[in-house]
Amino acid sequence: MEQISNFTASNKFRSRIHDLIPGGAHTYSKGDDQFPQLSPAAIAYGKGAHVWDIDNNKFLDCSMGLTSVSLGHAYQAVIERIKSELDKGVNFQRPAFIEMEMAEKFLSLVP
């Protein structure tokens, strides 16, 4: 396995973000105190089980977006469904039909 050693953009990012956000992140598990200096400072994108940092280094994402991404990053079926819903409009002043559908689905799964 090749050792990753290019963190040039990450180091610049760290110095900027610490001026803006204490600790570099609001979520504790994303903060720099959880990661050593030679680690990605920010993720540029993800696909499947991998993420790429702002230095274009590829990593296996063992935490999968703080465990919220069980299907992997940018899962195509989810992306397509989200896009189809966005085409209908978002953030209406009244409830959207899908809110009722999702509430019914959620309540059917929770005892």
Q: Tally Cβ neighbours within 10 Å of residue 104.
A: 10
Give the mean pLDDT of 72-92.
Answer: 91
Give the mean pLDDT of 17-46.
Answer: 84
Task: Please give the pLDDT value at position 55.
Answer: 95
Confirm if 49 and 72 have CB atoms less than 8 A apart. yes
Whole-angstrom Cα distance, residue 12 to residue 91?
Answer: 36
Residue 18 has pLDDT above 80, yes or no: yes
Q: Which residues of 11-92 form beta strands (DSSP E)? A: 43-47, 50-53, 58-60
54-75 pLDDT, tens digit each: 999 999 888 767 666 788 899 9
CATH class of 8-109: alpha beta
